[in-house]
Amino acid sequence: MRYTLLFRQIFSLLNNLKYLNFDSSAGCSSNLSFYSLHPIDVSSTLLELHVALDNFNDCIYLLDGCFHQLQTLCVRMFMIPLSDTTISNKEKIPNLRCFFLHCNTKTKAYGELIVPLLQRMSNLEKLDLYFTVVNKRMFVDGNKLKKNIINYMSRLKTISFNIRSIIDLYNQTNLPSNEDIRHIFKDFQDNQIICCVDYFLETDRTEYLIYSYPYRLKDYDQISNNFTGGIFECVRNITLFDEHSFEHEFFLRISQSFPFMKSLNVMNDKSQKNNLHSRPKKNNQDLPIIKYLHLVKLDLTDAHDDYIKQFLVD
């Protein structure tokens, strides 16, 4: 709450503010929440805002009436829950040119909240999206992205996204191929659109991932053995997850694909097929050395002991 009050106070004191970075990654340790408070002082000068918010209602709250001249909004959101909010999500936002929406928690409100908000941004020129959608039957593919969002943005020049859909394993419909996706996004010459599918039998779910490449986002979560490769120079934080074991070759691919990775979280409770003790010593010597030149944080809390040995001994 104190960070929210500080944020509000800034606009009471600075009448000609044009740029503000109040994102948690910039030193603020708490997400802001405005929904239960009185309206914020209106700023007619602010052009660019970077902010970490508690939920989707707070984003709509800021866009509807607080910052009339805002052109760039970068939002890191804690959650996007289904809500019976009374805040309107219909009026156009004509001045906004760049919008970044990042949410690490899963949401069921893609069609109810995210799509209507993006459709209001008719003059948007740059769009970055990062979120995971949970739906029993529907997945977000290139067709839905273009039909429900891109077609509403006639001035859109640049789009970057990582959108993961989680659907029931036995309720899936036909998934489009990479060739289908490339045809849908043929107007965006600077982007290659990649999709991949993972089937997790232990939890009866399918995960469908679609993302733009070159990849300009800092995070890449839930990477499995199905990872298609590539070079991701902007990524700093990654999470690995699979129901099948990660072997030495997989970690080599990861280190090569993410040369500037700083944070790595490994979630895999399966023992390695070719771990340190099962391989002959001669084979161990022949394996290429894996280097993580920029890694400063390693989380193995949800990993099998083999991966601890992989990093500390192998």
pLDDT tens digit string along 36-57?
555 566 677 899 999 999 888 8
Asked whether residue 185 carries a pLDDT value surpassing 70, the answer given is no
Which two three-digit tokens encode residue 12? Answer: 């009471």
> What is the structure's pLDDT at 87?
62
Tell me what the mean pLDDT of segment 137-157 comes to.
88
**Poorest-pLDDT segment among 121-125, 218-222, 226-230, 282-286:** 282-286
Q: What is the CA radius of gyration of the chain?
A: 22
Confidence check: pLDDT of 85 > 80: no
Question: What are the structural domain ranges in the chain?
Answer: 218-314
User: Which pLDDT band, with edges at 50, 70 and 90, does 174 fall under?
Assistant: low
pLDDT at 15 over 50: yes
User: Minimal CA–CA distance to 78: which of 143, 119, 31?
Assistant: 31
Residue 27: pLDDT above 60? Answer: no
pLDDT per residue as tens digits for the range 265-291: 999 999 999 875 555 555 555 678 899
* Residue 310, pLDDT score: 86
Q: What is the pTM of this model?
A: 0.84
What b/e string do you get for 5-30 counting C-beta neighbours within 10 Å, with b at 16 or more?
eebbeebeeeeeeeebebbbeeebee
Average pLDDT over every residue of 295-299: 97
Q: What is the mean pLDDT of the chain?
A: 85
pLDDT beyond 70 at 241: yes
